[in-house]
Structure 1
Amino acid sequence: MVRTIFHIDVNSAFLSWEAAHRMSSGEDIDIRDIPSAVAGDPNKRRGVILAKSTSAKRYGINTGESLNAALKKCPGLKVVSPTPGIYKRYSNALMDLIYEYTDAVEQCSIDEAFMDVSGIVKKLGVPPVKLADGIRRRVQNELGFTVNIGISCNKLLAKAASELEKPNRTHTMYPDEIEYKYWTLPVREMNGVGSSAQKKLNRAAIKTIGDLAVANEIYLKSIFKSYGAVLHQKANGIDESPVEPRGEAKSIGNSTTTPRDVESIEEACKYLLKLSENVGRRLRQKKLVSHCIGIEIRYSDFRNVQMQSALHSPVEGDLEIYQNAKSLFEKLWEKRPVRHIGIRALQLESGNEQQMSFLEEGNCGEGKLDSVIDNIRLRYGDDIIKRMV
Structure 2
Amino acid sequence: MESFSIDEVFLDMTGTSLIYPDPIQTAHEIKDKIKNELGFTVNVGISTNKLLAKMASDFEKPDKVHTLFPNEIPVKMWPLPVRDLLFLGKASEKKLTEAGMYTIGDMAHARETEIQVLLGKKAGHQLYRYACGIDDSPVKAQPEEAKGFSVETTFNDDIVSVDQVLPILLEQCDVVATRMRRKGKKCISVSVTFRTLDFKNKSHQTTLPNATDTTDEIYKKAKKLFTESWKGEPLRLIGVALTNLTDESFEQLSLFEDNEKKERKRKLDATMDAIRQKFGNDKITRASIMNSNSGIARKARAQMKNEDEKPE
| TM-score of the aligned structures, taking structure 2 as reference length | 0.54
What's 2:36 paired with? Answer: none
322, 345, 349: which one aligns with 2:219: 322
Task: Please give the alpha-carbon distance, in whole angstroms, between the structure 2 residues aligned to 1:381 and 1:373.
Answer: 11
C-alpha separation in 1, matches of 2:234 and 2:244: 30
| Residue 270 of structure 1: how far off its partner (Å) | 1.7
Of 346-355 and 287-296, the range deviating more from structure 2: 346-355
1:314–1:355 contact (8 Å) kept in structure 2? no
- Deviation for aligned residue 1:300: 1.9
The 3 A distance-change label for structure 1 pair 81 and 282 is: same
Q: Which residue of 1 aligns with 2:9?
A: 7
* Matching residue of 1:386: 285
Q: CA deviation at 1:290?
A: 1.4
Per-residue Cα deviation, 1:188-229 (whole angstroms, up to 9, x for no partner): xxxxxxxxxxxxxxxxxxxxxxxxxxxxxxxxxxxxxxxxxx
1:373: which partner in 2?
272
Match of 1:251 in 2: 148
After superposition, give the CA deviation of every residue in 1:141-167 in whole Å (9 maximum; x if it has no partner): xxxxxxxxxxxxxxxxxxxxxxxxxxx
SS of the residue aligned with 2:243?
A: strand
RMSD of aligned residue pairs (Cα, Å): 4.0
1:305 and 2:202 matched? yes
1:39 aligns with 2:108: yes
Hey, what does 1:335 align to over in structure 2?
A: 232
Alignment of 1:1-389 (within 5 A): 6-7=8-9, 9=54, 15-16=82-83, 20-22=90-92, 37-41=106-110, 81-83=114-116, 86=120, 88-89=122-123, 109=135, 243-246=141-144, 248-357=145-254, 360-387=259-286, 388-389=288-289
CA deviation after TM superposition for structure 1 residue 5, in Å: 6.5
| Aligned mates of 1:281, 1:28 — CA distance in 2 | 36
Shift of 1:113: 9.2
Q: Are the equivalent residues in 2 in contact too, given 1:251–1:346 (CA < 8 A)?
A: yes
Partner of 2:292: none
**1:365 partner letter:** R
Check 1:20–1:320 CA distance in 2 against 1; reply closer, same or farther (3 A cut). Answer: same
Once the two structures are TM-superposed, the CA of residue 348 in structure 1 deviates from its matched residue by 1.6
Q: Is the 8 A contact 2:81 2:104 kept in 1?
A: no
Identity, in percent, stands at: 23
Native 8 Å contact 1:14 1:82 kept in 2: no
Tell me which amino acid in the other structure corresponds to 1:287: G
Q: Give ranges in structure 1 of 5+ residues lacking alignment.
A: 48-79, 93-107, 115-241
SS in 1 for 2:239: strand
User: Partner amino acid for 1:15?
Assistant: V
Deviation at 1:272, TM superposition (A): 0.6
Deviation at 1:15, TM superposition (A): 2.6
Letter in 1 for 2:266: G
TM superposition shift of 1:355: 2.6
Report the Cα distance in structure 1 between the residues aligned to 2:189 and 2:183, rounded to whole angstroms. Answer: 16
1:188 aligned residue: none
Distance 1:29 1:376, change over 3 A: farther
Give the whole-Å Cα distance in 1 for the aligned partners of 2:275 and 2:138: 25
Contact 1:317 1:370 survives alignment (8 Å): yes
Residues in 2 aligned to 1:285 and 1:361: alpha-carbon distance in whole angstroms: 23
TM-score (norm 1): 0.44
Structure 2 distance, partners of 1:260, 1:288, is 35
Q: CA deviation at 1:316?
A: 0.8
Change (3 A) 1:18 1:348: closer
Q: Which residue identity does 2:147 align to in structure 1?
A: K
How many residues are paired up? 206
- CA distance in structure 2 between the aligned counterparts of 1:270 and 1:352, rounded to whole angstroms: 29
Give the letter for the 2:272 counterpart. Answer: I
